[in-house]
Amino acid sequence: MAASEPDFADRVPWQSVFDQAAAAMAILDLQGVYLYVNEAMCRMLGYTCDELCGRDYRDVTYPDDIDPEGPTESRGLLEKRYLRADGTVLWALVSRTFVRDEDGEPIYFLSQIQDITARRETELLWARSFANAPIGMAVLDVKGNWIEVNDALCSMLGYTREEMVGMGFDEVTYEDDESQGLAALSALMTEGLDSATVEKRYRHKDGHPIWVLIRATAVPGADGRPAFVVSQYEDIGEQRLVDAHLAHLALHDPLTGLANRALLADRLDHSLQQLASGHGVLVVLLADLDGLKPVNDRYGHAVGDELLIAAARGLEGAVRAGDTVARYGGDEFVVLSLLPDLAAAEALQDRVVQRLNARSTTQAGDPVDLSGSVGYATTSDPRASPEELLHAADRDMYRRKRQRRPDER
């Protein structure tokens, strides 16, 4: 091989290799004047070889990037901007090395240039989007530590950038919510998931909780495995309150705060399903207030509403925490309860009657007593019809109403 090397050099002169190289290359004297440039350099800057040769490199360097001390051998890669012939600017990655004589003395510079304009524009777009995003943004390492955060996230959590960088997200996560974040991180890092969404609570620096919607995306490294996580953070505290309020309005009676018909139907279906597991008997009580219409006619609906609210509180006081109390209609209420046997069902009916008939108010000096009739139906069959149960409790309620003595009405 050694004997053939001179032949190779003779057959393929350096100028041929230089000119056919894909990368932009130039030879400059020690003062920075171009002595020779290849075709790739000419295409990159938009000049001909004759236009560049004999010209100082500072003429095609962006003014802010001119070396004040003149050209030097670079100890590493240098990023700088060039001016093209049409006046546009490009970013380049430059490497300068000395070409030395036989005594080792530098006689020329060899400059190799790579156009990185597209990469720099992408980096600038990312940096500005990250910094100026109206929501919180961060870059995390594979262990869940923040390595870059934007101003919006700092403002959201009350920390400075210096305080947050290096901090793990678990350090500001409520203990009850830690498992959600850790599970999402594990899914991104080890299970091949591209993105994950989590709702959780962060603790603000001053101690109060913040509900945050987090969208996290895994960023792969050179080996294809996740190297970073980019996360977006949105404060959803107010929205959660609004959603919870709307959900409550959709499922509860606005006057009494009790469950409405929609929620009652859902609870009734669920209670019947529980019977399949051997949960004793399901009791459905239907209570009807007696004499509400005369009260409304004499004292007004505001007084009638007071009686309805009093009835609701009485019913709530007669049942257990897990039971359902619903307003079924204008002056009708329903109670659902899973009880061990029929004796317990009868005892519940008695308590409800006592509570309803113990309520009273005073209007214009006149006592206004609250009374009600309460019927009930029971089943231990999970296949029972909800409608039939309510109808049976309604029939029993009217039977009891008819049986009451006139002086109790």
| pLDDT tens for each residue of the chain, 409 residues long | 344 444 444 554 777 888 888 999 999 999 999 999 999 999 999 999 999 999 999 999 999 999 877 777 766 788 999 999 999 999 999 998 998 988 989 999 999 999 999 999 999 899 999 999 999 999 999 999 999 999 999 999 999 999 999 999 999 998 888 888 888 888 888 877 888 899 898 999 988 888 899 999 999 988 888 999 999 999 887 666 666 667 677 788 888 889 999 889 988 998 888 888 776 899 999 998 887 777 776 777 787 788 888 888 888 888 888 889 999 988 899 999 999 899 998 999 999 888 888 655 555 556 666 778 899 999 999 999 999 999 999 999 989 888 765 544 4
- For residue 305, the model assigns a pLDDT of 83
- d(Cα 361, Cα 370) in Å, to the nearest integer? 8
Q: Which CATH architecture has domain 133-237?
A: 2-Layer Sandwich (3.30)
Place of tokens 């909780």: 209
What's the CATH class of domain 252-403? Answer: alpha beta
Instruction: Specify the residue for token string 């546009």.
Output: 88
Any idea what the Cα angle at residue 50 is, between residues 46 and 53, rounded to 5°?
A: 95
Token couple for 50:
């004759």
Residue appearing with tokens 């932009």: 24
Determine the pLDDT at residue 6.
Answer: 46
Q: Which of 343, 341, 338, 335 is nearest to 318 (CA)?
A: 335
How far apart CA 260 and CA 402 sit, in angstroms, is: 27
Residue 206 near residue 234 (C-beta atoms within 8 A)? no
Per-residue tokens: 51? 């236009």
Query: What topology does CATH give the domain 16-119?
Result: Beta-Lactamase (3.30.450)
- For 308, the token pair is 């309805």
Residue 140 and residue 231 in contact, taking contact as beta carbons nearer than 8 Å: yes
- Please give the single-letter amino acid code of residue 321: A
Q: What is the pLDDT of residue 71?
A: 79
Residue 359: its pLDDT value, please? Answer: 58
What lies within 8 Å, CB to CB, of 356 at 6+ separation is 287, 289, 311, 314, 315, 370, 371, 372, 374
Q: What is the pLDDT of residue 409?
A: 42
CA 140-144-147 angle, 5° bins: 30
Cβ pair 259, 267 in contact under 8 A: yes
Supply the pLDDT for residue 408.
Answer: 46
Residues 6+ apart with CB under 8 A from 277: none
* CATH 3.30.70.270 boundaries in the chain: 252-403
Query: According to CATH, where is 3.30.450.20 located in the chain?
Result: 16-119, 133-237
Contacts of 158 (CB under 8 A, 6+ apart): 204, 205, 206
SS3 of 385, please? coil
Question: At 395, is the secondary structure helix, strand, or coil?
Answer: helix
- Taking the model in full, what pTM does it have? 0.52
pLDDT of res. 360: 59
Helix, strand or coil, per DSSP, at residue 58: helix
Tokens of 115: 């156009």
